[in-house]
Amino acid sequence: MEAIWLYQFRLIVIGDSTVGKSCLIRRFTEGRFAQVSDPTVGVDFFSRLVEIEPGKRIKLQIWDTAGQERFRSITRAYYRNSVGGLLLFDITNRRSFQNVHDWLEEARSHVQPHSIVFLLVGHKCDLEPQRQVSRQEAEKLASAYGMRYVETSARDAINVEHAFTELTRDIFQLVRSGDITIQEGWEGVKSGFVPNVVHSSEEVTKSDRRCLC
């Protein structure tokens, strides 16, 4: 992996079990689609670089959480250090759409005191004939939450890049405008190494002070 990036953003991907979280991430990070995949246990990790402007690369560290209810108590612990995330539902599964609200609430309450930037994703848009959630409906919900809405398909590779880069751009703007700041002890945003910029030793000394006992 290239070592030169401006920032690292940690993203979390949440949503009901079987909506296709892992498949979407794999398509994005590995460029392939697996017909069969095992349910995620707890959390898995992926990373990829995204070039948001010429020469400006962001490293995305993606936490792929388990959707299954039984893992909920564990996955909750993982929200805190994320700056953003994809909130997925399956357009052919109405129930997964109805649960979006709960997922959002849960995420928001667990990232406190930080805030988190979400993108609402209607997944499996290649399965148009089985659609149970209309685009208008989803867009309405997204705007009510102040989010963007994107429909994707991991199988046909529709909008996958778009979804991740849009979210990354949004976060990047917030970082640039100072609405999101790099904080000690928070892994959501980290600054990377740019050639010829001396990275101060401050961070190291700062972290020394943090007492874990």
Residues that bind another protein (CB under 8 A): 1, 3-4, 41-43, 45-47, 61, 63, 70-71, 73-74, 77-78, 80-81, 187, 192-196, 199, 204, 207-208, 210-213
CB nearer to another protein: give 73 or 177.
Answer: 73
Whether the upstream peptide bond of residue 113 has omega within 30° of 0, thus cis, is yes
DSSP string, 91-157: TT-HHHHHTHHHHHHHHHHHHTTS--EEEEEEE-TT-GGG--S-HHHHHHHHHHHT-EEEE-BTTTT
Say how far apart CA 136 and CA 198 lie, in whole Å: 49
Say how far apart CA 190 and CA 187 lie, in whole Å: 6
To the nearest whole angstrom, how small is the minimum distance from the Cβ of residue 99 to another protein?
A: 20
To the nearest whole angstrom, how small is the minimum distance from the Cβ of residue 194 to another protein?
A: 7
CB nearer to another protein: give 13 or 133.
Answer: 13
To the nearest whole angstrom, how small is the minimum distance from the Cβ of residue 1 to another protein?
A: 6
To the nearest whole angstrom, how small is the minimum distance from the Cβ of residue 145 to another protein?
A: 27
CB nearer to another protein: give 65 or 92.
Answer: 65
CB nearer to another protein: give 35 or 196.
Answer: 196
CB nearer to another protein: give 146 or 195.
Answer: 195
To the nearest whole angstrom, how small is the minimum distance from the Cβ of residue 41 to another protein?
A: 6
To the nearest whole angstrom, how small is the minimum distance from the Cβ of residue 111 to another protein?
A: 13
**Other beta carbons less than 10 A from residue 207's beta carbon:** 10
* DSSP code at position 196: T
CB nearer to another protein: give 75 or 153.
Answer: 75
Q: Which of 12, 21, 16 is nearest to 160 (CA)?
A: 21
Say how far apart CA 205 and CA 28 lie, in whole Å: 37
In the chain, % helix, strand, coil (3-state, to 5) comes to 35, 25, 40
